[in-house]
Every structure is written in C-alpha cells, then in structure tokens.
Homo-oligomer: A and B are copies of this chain.
Amino acid sequence: RGAWAGLAAAVAALALGLAVSVWRRRPRPVREVLFFPSQPVCTEALLAEAVGPGAVTRPCRCPLPRGDCSLSRLLRRLLSACRSLELCLFTFSSPQLARAVQLLHRRGVRVRVVTDAQSMEMRGSQIGLLRHAGIQVRHDQESGYMHHKFAIVDGRMLLTGSLNWTTQAIQNNRENVMVVEDHEYVKAFLDEFERIWEEYNPRNYIFFP
C-alpha cells in the first residue's frame, strides 16, 4: 500500500510540474495600447524590409528620425500579416499606411476593405489607389457614417481605437489604438466585419436614375 501511495504522489507531482511548465511556455497574447500623436518618422527602411529578403533597398536620405514610435509599431503589426487583412475604416488617407497595405496585397495577403462613402470621396483618400492596385473595397450607402476604425490581422490580432488612418490624426491628434490578441474580441469584430461586408455587397447597391 505504501508503494502505491508513493507512486500516486510521484504521478501527482509530475502532472503538476508538467501543467505549470506548459502554462509558462504558452506565448503570452499581445496586450498593447498605442497612443498618438506620434512624431514624424521615416518609415522607408521598415517598408523596404517588409518587401522581402530579395528586395533591393537604398537607404533613405530624408532628414526624419528613424526611431521607434506609435506609427512604426502600428506599421509593424500590420506588416506581420501572412494570410489575411480586414480593414474597416471611416477615413483612409495616410500614404504610409496605404503603402503597407499595397505591399501586403502584392505579397499575396487577402486584403478586404470596408469604408465610408462620403469619406472615400474626400481629397487625399487612398481608397482609389487601393482599388487601382486590385484590392477589394466595399462602401456604405447609408446616411449614417461607417465610423469603425479597426483592422484584423490573420484572424488573430485586432487593431482598434479612435484613430482614423490620416496623417493629420497620426501626427496631431490625441488618439489610441489597442492591439488585442484575445480570441473573443477578435471574433466579435470579425463577425461585425463579415456582416458589413455582406451588407455592402455591390449586388445590394441601389442606383438612382
């Protein structure tokens, strides 16, 4: 009986040790908040690096600093996409963010964009360029605004907050972007994206005579 009890104790200790070890090795989900305004920085090196290992890159000669900031962090999160990128954006006029999105599209990432019709027609909007590059874009036909500002990377990471994707907002406004890897939040936003994507299907557009 003593031997059995000893064996039981050893097994219990082993199981406990194993559970703790598995739990500690699990990669911790990202929980980050990016606050803006972000100082103007040169993002050429960051974008060139994301093109791929075979890309020819020339160092940029502009006088802007290269440091780490909220914009460069946001770009890095976006550029980590391997398979899919859903964008649901009220306004999209930042050339730096648009270049990152086009780069992902060229790399074979499935990019889908939902935006607001009124905002899309404003000067500086990058939506036309994205469409020209072959990226799928859908927009509302509603009187209210499509006011979301979120992105979903690989169905795994949510980027959401108050920030419209404009240079004005990035460099001048008080803004926030949360980086979230929690499955429940990601799923809620992905479901919202799919709902809107289907509602804004061009099949449903109404054209007035």
**Residues of A that sit less than 8 Å from B by CB:** 1-3, 5-6, 8-9, 12-13, 16, 31, 33, 35, 37, 90, 140, 142-150, 160-163, 168-169, 171-176, 178, 182, 184-185, 188-189, 192, 196
Chain B residues with CB under 8 Å of A143's CB are 172
Please tell me if the beta carbons of A175 and B147 are within 8 angstroms of each other in the complex. yes
As for how many copies of this chain the complex holds, the number is 2
Q: Is the interface of A mostly helix, strand, loop or mixed?
A: mixed
- Contact (A174, B196) CB under 8 Å given A1-B2, A2-B2, A144-B37: yes
Q: Nearest chain B CB to A94's CB is how many angstroms away? A: 15
Instruction: Please determine whether B176 and A150 come into contact, CB atoms closer than 8 angstroms.
Output: yes
B162 adjacent to A176 (CB under 8 Å):
no
Compute how far the CA of A162 lies from the CA of B189 in the bound complex, rounded to whole angstroms.
Answer: 13
